[in-house]
Structure formats: C-alpha cells, structure tokens
C-alpha cells in the first residue's frame, strides 16, 4: 500500500515517472489517508516549459496502454487490463537540474499553466479509464497540484520507468 500525504505548501509542477505498485495519498496528519490504491500504477508528473494540451492525449494513451503491469498469470498487461487503479502525483521536482550543490527548476512550466495542464491530464485519464475499462474496477485517484505531498510506496521490485514526451 502506498500512502500519499498532502500539505498546504505551494510547489510548481513534463516528465512522467510511474511505478507499478500500491499507493496511498494522505493529508497533513500521519493518520489521515486521502487516497489509496492497492494494485495499479503510480504516475508522477512534471510539466516543462513548452508543454501544451496537444501532447496530453498521447501521454495518457501511452501511459495507460503500455504493458508494464504483471497479471496474476505472470504475463505483462496494461493497467487498464488489471483489477487495479491509478494514482497521479504532481511532482515538480522531476524538472530539477543540479547546478553546483543546489537544484534549479528553471525549465519547469509556470504554476498557472502547470495547474491547467495537470487538471486536463487528470480529466483525460479519468475519461480514458471510464471508456476503456467499463465494468472493471480500475479507478483514477490524484494528488492536488501545488501542495506538498508525501507518498508511501510499496512496490513489487524496483520497477520504475521514466517517460519523456
């Protein structure tokens, strides 16, 4: 199970990283769980300067249809074919570049544009899941853009991928 704790701290937030795992999203308190998934995919997302809505459909289609999740039979399937869920986590720090002994985030999109793209990305994921997995138990849960979020992740092996669109 992967918990995601959320705090009221503003952060900026196009790179995707995802993990085939279990996830949980929480609020400020250690005990208040906001969202939780058991089996499925955790998607960390960051938007860079130049990101646009035209790219979002390709991102959603690729992430939800790529065969990276292991079915009970041992065969690889997409998250849409699992009895599982998707947890989307806005993660602006994916856009950081090391400069000397500190990190810089000059390539990240503005907070306003990031919020708009994040909302559109979540909506497209929800629509795709509703269409592609009608009748199954796949659901989309997500963090709040701009808030500090703490994630507890239990994963079946080191199975994290980075996709740059």
Residue 22 has a pLDDT of 56
67 Cβ neighbours under 8 A, 6+ residues apart? 76, 77, 78
- What b-and-e string marks burial along 118-156, b requiring 16 or more CB atoms within 10 Å of the CB? beebbebbbebbeebbeeeebbbbbbbbbbebebbbeee
Copy the structure tokens of residue 99: 């400069």
Domains of the chain, start order: 4-164 (3.50.80.10)
In tens digits, what is the pLDDT along the chain, a chain of 165 residues?
454 544 433 333 345 555 555 555 544 555 466 778 888 889 999 999 999 999 999 999 999 999 988 888 989 999 888 888 999 999 888 888 999 999 998 999 999 999 999 999 999 999 999 888 766 778 899 988 888 777 788 887 667 888 888
């Amino acid at each position: 199970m992967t918990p995601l704790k959320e705090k009221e701290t503003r952060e900026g937030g196009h790179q995707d990283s995802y993990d085939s795992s279990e996830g949980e999203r929480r609020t400020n308190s250690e005990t208040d769980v906001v969202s939780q998934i058991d089996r499925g995919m955790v998607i960390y997302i960051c938007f860079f300067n130049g990101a646009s809505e035209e790219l979002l459909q390709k991102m959603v289609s690729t992430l939800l249809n790529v065969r990276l999740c292991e079915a009970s039979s041992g065969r690889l399937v997409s998250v849409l074919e699992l009895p599982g869920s998707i947890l989307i986590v806005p993660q602006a720090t994916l856009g950081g570049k090391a400069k000397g002994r500190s990190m810089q985030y000059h390539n990240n999109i503005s907070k306003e544009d990031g919020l708009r793209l994040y909302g559109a990305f979540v909506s497209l994921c929800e629509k795709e899941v509703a269409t592609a997995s009608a009748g199954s138990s796949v659901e989309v849960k997500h963090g709040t853009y701009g808030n500090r979020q703490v994630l507890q992740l239990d994963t079946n092996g080191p199975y994290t991928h980075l996709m740059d669109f």
